[in-house]
Structure 1
Amino acid sequence: MGVTPRRRTFAVAAIAAITAIGGLSACTKKNDEPSTPGEIKLVVDHFGEFGYDDLVKQYEASHPGIKIELRKTAQLGDYRPKLVRYLATNKGAGDVVALEEGIITEFKANAANWVDLSQYVGDKSADYLPWKYEIGKTADGKLLGLPTDVGGLAMCYRKDLLEAAGFASDRDAVSALWPTWDKFIEVGQQYRTKTGKGLLDTVTTAFSASLSQVGGDLFYDKDFNVVADTSPAVKQSWDLAVKLADAKVTAKTNTWSAEWQAGFQQGTFAATLCPSWMLGIIEQNSGAANKGKWDVAAVPGGGGNWGGSWLSVPTQSKHPKEAAELAAFLTNADSQVAAFKAKGPLPSNLKALDNADFQAYQNPYFNNAPVGKIFGEGAKTLKPVTIGPKHSSVKERAFEPALQAYEAGRLSAQAAWDQAVKDAKVQGAF
């Protein structure tokens, strides 16, 4: 995640879809007003699972004049185009919207689209991980977003499937099986020999995890030039993904596909890279029948920071003050602990990370794994990486399709790399 100020002016034409109409002072009615006179309706837009279902009910109970609607989009890839359209037409956006690390820089390019939250909630810099808070500010110092979570990394695995294949299933023993990626590959090859199945879901989850582990400049440098073809982090992560595919240790299930979602229930694979926010997604996909079968172990190669978001208020909101106050509530220490318990997003609020309930929390779905301890221990040591304006597009529309094509045998390694590099230049243009 880049924390340095932007040092170049971006071409307006390249972001016309976001800025052509977005940021206008006129507000267009976007949501039906509540039928109760005097009641204010606030819409919260987010993707995946943020753990807000019970929190918004709690907020409504303590704020009788407020009614809240959660609008969830399952995948970030589907969420971003909606937000682009809302900002371009100056209508339709939620009063509070989530901005993920892979898209926040892109949307910060036009600060006029966003409310300066500090005018309603004050200076919150002492409450959060410093680098995380800074990313939520615009180049001229306005507070565009309040931090939600960070993406502490682990490996989630099916203990019952490992046991059936003759492996130890205790989380400490499993962590000891794969201290390095080479050891993970050895285990994966043994698992395939014994079961005929892939240990890992797909090479793309390993690619993303490795990027976060290596760190530094990823697809962009600090001036936001696309450097995917020369980035050591990208090349090292690419080589790891190719090595995993060559070793046949994956199930070749494309992330977010119907096959991938069903694979959690069907035992198609026994492990997936698991940033803390993935806990809720795994539970949702795996269903009640698999409660207690999943557990959490260390990731090969140690640590990593994959993902994380902020809550922002578009200027088109008819209720910016109330929306900012709701965003502050959803990101305060108590709410971040509650959201973590509900769906797994790892707090970025410093008091939340020090909270005794957070540190002691065990997730019953994941065999009572001490996820507060597992994810929390390294949270304060996480380091930002350079996340450029179209990071998500480069990763999801250039590198992941190319890796999937290689994993499926449709392209050679060189052809896949050439395709990824070529597509990265197109997807990364800003």
Structure 2
Amino acid sequence: MNLTKRRARLAAATVAAITAVGGLAACGNDDDNTSTDGGKPAKLVVDTFGEMGYDELVKQYEQQTGIKVELRKTAQLGEYRPKLVRYLATGKGAADVTALEEGILNEFKANPRNWVDLNPLIDSGITDDYLPWKWELGKAPDGRLIGLPTDVGSLAVCYRKDLFEQAGLPTERDQVAALWPDWNGYHEAGKKYKQATGKAFVDSITAVSNGVLFQQGSDLFYDKENNIIADSSPAVKNAWETATSMVDISAKASTWSAEWNGGFKQGTFATTFCPSWMLGIVQDNSGAENKGKWDVAAVPGGGGNWGGSWLAVPEQSKHQKEAAKLAEFLTNATSQVEAFKAKGPLPTNLEALKNEEFLSYTNEYFSNAPTGKIFGESVAKIEPVHLGPKHQAVKENAYEPALRAFENGQADKNKAWEQFTKDAATQGAF
């Protein structure tokens, strides 16, 4: 069967599945669009992944409203998405407020019926309060607003000052950034580090690839018409070539793995690529004993955006109006500044980005790095990328496994690339 016919059949099957999911979700809550008692609910549930900095904020909301908020956290996005898909398919189990990462959001836009249109439930005056492109990405093709902007993943490099010092490399963040004005400079710094210490410089080549991939501001796995272009995308090819060239300085510890989690404390690698939301994860994995050993410097190439999320309200929520107000509270300017200070998610609210408390904020754990200034200045350099409806599936089930196969010696570079393009055609069909 040729690729066009195969994609057509897969597309038809997927549309049928999506329709079924939408139907189940709708059936589960036909009569549950407001609080069951006609008043405010006793409790609202919020689902998040990673660290979004909401722990103290939900306590504030409880005090202000008298509504209990249950915060359900899932550490890894790869574990979060299957649970969410199951909730939607069965029509039960979803939180009242649900965090949607950019890849997940694009996939779920195909069936916006699973999500409440927030437009009539929020203050109409907040429409212009956010980065314009971020706000627009929260809309479904039919114009429904299904997500309120939380953060963007402005890029930087987290590095271990103590390990740099042992290798005879500069440790001050401006001098460190000067080592790598581009990716070749980063590779050269890694070679010097490895030669001096015998240890890996970066956690994995998939981390390198993410750094390159999301700073190019162009089509990735799909073109603008949502055709798969995995085998011809200049952005993907550039990220692949850059990442695979650095296998010699890699610890081969894939992001979220047990080896990666433990590597922060053990000093298995000296650098990792840090979108702003990653700061809290690096801190949690490294522990109190490594406070002051980490610092933050500019990323090679100077900018980029890896990740970012929105808050949505599933149709199956019994408390849609109150859930929308909670989402609005968690994404307002004050809350976004507080979330950033707590765990690092970079604000998308324009008032928050101009807030002096944000701009002057220094992160004590990361050697008092001026993270507000570092990440805040990079926002203007962010160029939105086109992800496509199955971006996450292509990235996680085709692209990254191929990179790991090469990194771990299971396939040479050409064979790994061939496997990626083959798997991408299947994973990316819709």
Q: Same fold (TM over 0.5)?
A: yes
1:38, distance to aligned residue in structure 2 (A): 6.8
Distance 1:319 1:235, change over 3 A: same
Q: Percent sequence identity over matched residues?
A: 62
Secondary structure of the 2:46 match is strand
Amino acid at match of 1:213: Q
Secondary structure of the 1:277 match is helix
Partner of 1:68: 69
Paired with 2:352 and 2:19, the residues of 1 have a C-alpha distance of: 36
Superposed, 1:353-368 pairs within 5 Å as 353-368=353-368
Partner of 2:205: 203
Partner of 2:267: 267
Paired with 1:26 and 1:298, the residues of 2 have a C-alpha distance of: 48
Partner of 2:254: 254
1:410, distance to aligned residue in structure 2 (A): 1.3
- Asked if the contact 1:17/1:88 (under 8 Å) is kept, the reply is no
Partner of 1:222: 224
Deviations 1:265-302 (A, max 9, x none): 00000000111010011001111110110000111122
1:39, distance to aligned residue in structure 2 (A): 4.6
Deviations 1:368-420 (A, max 9, x none): 00000000012134221101111111111111111111111111000000011
Amino acid at match of 1:93: A
Deviations 1:315-367 (A, max 9, x none): 10000000000000000000000000000000000000000000000001100
Cα RMSD for the two superposed structures = 1.9
Paired with 1:159 and 1:176, the residues of 2 have a C-alpha distance of: 15
- Asked if the contact 1:25/1:315 (under 8 Å) is kept, the reply is no
Partner of 2:185: 183
Amino acid at match of 1:177: L
Paired with 1:250 and 1:46, the residues of 2 have a C-alpha distance of: 30
1:103, distance to aligned residue in structure 2 (A): 1.3
Superposed, 1:1-16 pairs within 5 Å as 11=11, 13-16=13-16
- Asked if the contact 2:41/2:319 (under 8 Å) is kept, the reply is no
Q: Is there any run of 5+ residues in structure 1 with no aligned partner, and where?
A: 1-7
- Asked if the contact 1:157/1:272 (under 8 Å) is kept, the reply is yes
1:87, distance to aligned residue in structure 2 (A): 0.6
2:162 pairs with 1:160 = yes
2:381 pairs with 1:370 = no
Partner of 1:420: 420
Partner of 2:109: 108
Q: Is there any run of 5+ residues in structure 2 with no aligned partner, and where?
A: 1-7
Paired with 1:350 and 1:133, the residues of 2 have a C-alpha distance of: 11
- Asked if the contact 1:146/1:310 (under 8 Å) is kept, the reply is yes
Paired with 2:31 and 2:259, the residues of 1 have a C-alpha distance of: 39
- Asked if the contact 2:313/2:323 (under 8 Å) is kept, the reply is yes
Paired with 1:38 and 1:335, the residues of 2 have a C-alpha distance of: 22
1:28, distance to aligned residue in structure 2 (A): 8.4
Partner of 1:330: 330
Runs of 4+ in structure 1 over 3 Å off: 15-19
Paired with 1:363 and 1:29, the residues of 2 have a C-alpha distance of: 47
- Asked if the contact 1:29/1:91 (under 8 Å) is kept, the reply is no
Partner of 1:136: 138
Paired with 1:200 and 1:362, the residues of 2 have a C-alpha distance of: 25
Secondary structure of the 1:274 match is strand
- Asked if the contact 2:148/2:310 (under 8 Å) is kept, the reply is yes
Distance 1:363 1:159, change over 3 A: same
Paired with 1:284 and 1:18, the residues of 2 have a C-alpha distance of: 37
Distance 1:53 1:18, change over 3 A: farther
2:58 pairs with 1:56 = yes
Q: Normalized against structure 2, the TM-score is what? A: 0.93
- Asked if the contact 1:228/1:234 (under 8 Å) is kept, the reply is yes
Distance 1:419 1:96, change over 3 A: same
